[in-house]
């Protein structure tokens, strides 16, 4: 145990925790949105994220980078990054919609129990991981260094590099856009209506199936954009990359109160910070122990999580 690292590296660990938290947040929003409208945990959501990383990998292959080049100039990098995020967003969003149609819609229309949908979700998750394991030969796929990660600002142990700033700024912009969508558009109103009371929403003329599809699309796009950030930050992916990231993002959603958008955001950043600080103080292997002890404690005191499950009232 080394508490002195909290003093010497407080800010640098905090920054890394926020960066990781931002990536978690983009993924946990997908869990929370789907739960909000369907009261269903989409366990295959981690694979939607994985598909996004694969899409980014395939796009970068087209450019023929060897990984030994100098990093791209910032403007050029931002251009290429927007391309990654767009492609990953489209691919992940499309996959999520397809997943909803194949794995959930029929079950829902037949009035199957929630348990069937849960099993169907887990099945879809295994299916996707194994398909990509086969395609990628279970290899770790590498992503070239495209952005200059040298620090441009240093203060003690804290240093800022372009990739961290990109993740934090980029994620913030996306949260603001999401806030607008949920609170100020017809789609957002529909999502909130379905999540509040599905029956009444139908009576008010809301097309529930369409809203559910859009919710999956929204969650998928967020995960896809998250995967583009992930690839730039970690520069590697593999077929089961979604597992560890997905578990963390799901935990963050539960911590904040699943079904609640603001909860997912706060939960993700809190989780990122908790993980970073506990692994520095107690050792990496204690990270998940502490994380889940905290989760259990929060749920014991407040079973609905920090913010409760109220998507309809949420503000980002």
Partner 1 sequence: MKKIISIVSASALAVGLTVATAPSAFAACGGDLKIYFQGALTGPYAETGINEANGVILAIDKYNATNPKTKVAYDSIDTQASGAQSPALAAKVVADECAIGVVGGMYSGETLAAVPIYEGGKVPVVSPSATNPALTNKSAYFHRVVGSDLVQGPALAQIAIGLKSKLFVVDDATAYGKGLATIVKKNATKIIVGSDGVTEGTTNFTSVVAKVAKSKATAVFYGGYYPEAAIFVKALRDNPATKKVAFIAGDGVLDGEYIKLAKKNAEGSYLTAPGEPMDKVAPALAKEYKNKFNREHGLYTLEAYNSAYVLLQGIKAGKTTREALNTWLGEAVVKAVGSTISFSATGDPDKIVMNQYTIKGGKMVWVKKLS
Q: Please, what is the minimum distance in Å from the beta carbon of residue 196 to partner 1? A: 37
Tell how strand 236-237 and strand 158-160 pair up.
Answer: unpaired
Q: Please, what is the minimum distance in Å from the beta carbon of residue 159 to partner 1? A: 6
Whether the Cβ atoms of residue 267 and residue 21 lie closer than 8 Å to each other: no
Which residue number, 190 or 246, has a Cβ lying nearer to partner 1?
A: 246
Q: Please, what is the minimum distance in Å from the beta carbon of residue 218 to partner 1? A: 26
Rounded distance, CA 43 to CA 65, Å? 34
2 three-state secondary structure: coil
The residue whose two tokens read 């295959």 is: 44
Which residue number, 21 or 36, has a Cβ lying nearer to partner 1?
A: 21
Q: Please, what is the minimum distance in Å from the beta carbon of residue 95 to partner 1? A: 22
Beta strand residue intervals within 22-174, DSSP E: 141-142, 153-155, 158-160
Q: Summarize as ranges the residues that interact with partner 1 (CB under 8 A).
A: 2, 4-5, 8-9, 12-13, 16, 20, 67-68, 137-140, 142, 144-145, 149-151, 154, 157, 159, 161, 234-236, 238, 240-241, 244, 275-276, 279-280, 283-285, 287
Is the torsion defined by CA of 139, 143, 144, 145 positive or negative? negative
Which residue number, 39 or 133, has a Cβ lying nearer to partner 1?
A: 133
Of residues 131, 99, 125, the one with CA closest to residue 47 = 125
- Rg of the chain in Å (alpha carbons): 20
Residue 270, C-beta contacts closer than 8 angstroms, at least 6 positions apart: 21, 252, 255, 256, 306
Which residue number, 9 or 42, has a Cβ lying nearer to partner 1?
A: 9
Which residue number, 76 or 284, has a Cβ lying nearer to partner 1?
A: 284
Which residue number, 65 or 127, has a Cβ lying nearer to partner 1?
A: 65
Q: Please, what is the minimum distance in Å from the beta carbon of residue 150 to partner 1? A: 8
Q: Please, what is the minimum distance in Å from the beta carbon of residue 298 to partner 1? A: 22
Q: Please, what is the minimum distance in Å from the beta carbon of residue 287 to partner 1? A: 8
Which residue number, 8 or 185, has a Cβ lying nearer to partner 1?
A: 8
Whether the Cβ atoms of residue 60 and residue 143 lie closer than 8 Å to each other: yes
Rounded distance, CA 194 to CA 203, Å? 11
Whether the Cβ atoms of residue 245 and residue 295 lie closer than 8 Å to each other: no
């Amino acid at each position: 145990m080394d508490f002195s690292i909290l003093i010497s590296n407080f800010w640098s660990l905090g920054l890394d925790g926020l960066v990781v938290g931002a990536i978690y947040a983009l993924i946990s929003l997908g869990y929370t949105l789907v739960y909000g409208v369907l009261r269903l945990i989409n366990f295959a959501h981690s694979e939607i994220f994985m598909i996004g990383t694969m899409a980014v990998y395939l796009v970068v292959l087209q450019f023929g980078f060897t990984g030994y080049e100098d990093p791209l100039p910032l403007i050029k990098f931002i251009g290429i990054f927007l391309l990654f995020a767009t492609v990953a967003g489209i691919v992940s969003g499309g996959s999520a919609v397809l997943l909803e149609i194949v794995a959930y819609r029929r079950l829902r229309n037949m009035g199957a129990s929630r348990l069937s949908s849960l099993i169907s979700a887990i099945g879809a998750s295994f299916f996707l991981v194994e398909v990509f394991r086969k395609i990628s030969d279970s290899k770790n796929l590498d992503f070239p260094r495209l952005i200059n990660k040298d620090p441009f600002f240093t203060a003690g142990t804290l240093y800022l590099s372009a990739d961290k700033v990109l993740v934090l700024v980029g994620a913030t912009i996306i949260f603001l856009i999401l806030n607008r969508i949920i609170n100020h558009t017809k789609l957002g109103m529909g999502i909130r209506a379905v999540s509040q009371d599905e029956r009444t929403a139908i009576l008010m003329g809301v097309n529930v199936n369409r809203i559910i599809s859009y919710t999956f699309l929204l969650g998928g796009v967020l995960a896809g954009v998250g995967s583009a950030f992930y690839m730039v930050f970690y520069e590697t992916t593999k077929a089961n990359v979604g597992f560890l990231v997905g578990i963390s993002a799901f935990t963050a959603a539960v911590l904040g109160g699943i079904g609640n958008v603001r909860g997912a955001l706060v939960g993700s950043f809190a989780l990122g910070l908790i993980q970073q600080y506990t692994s520095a103080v107690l050792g990496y292997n204690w990270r998940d122990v502490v994380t889940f002890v905290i989760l259990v404690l929060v749920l014991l005191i407040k079973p609905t999580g920090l913010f409760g499950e109220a998507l309809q009232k949420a503000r980002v």
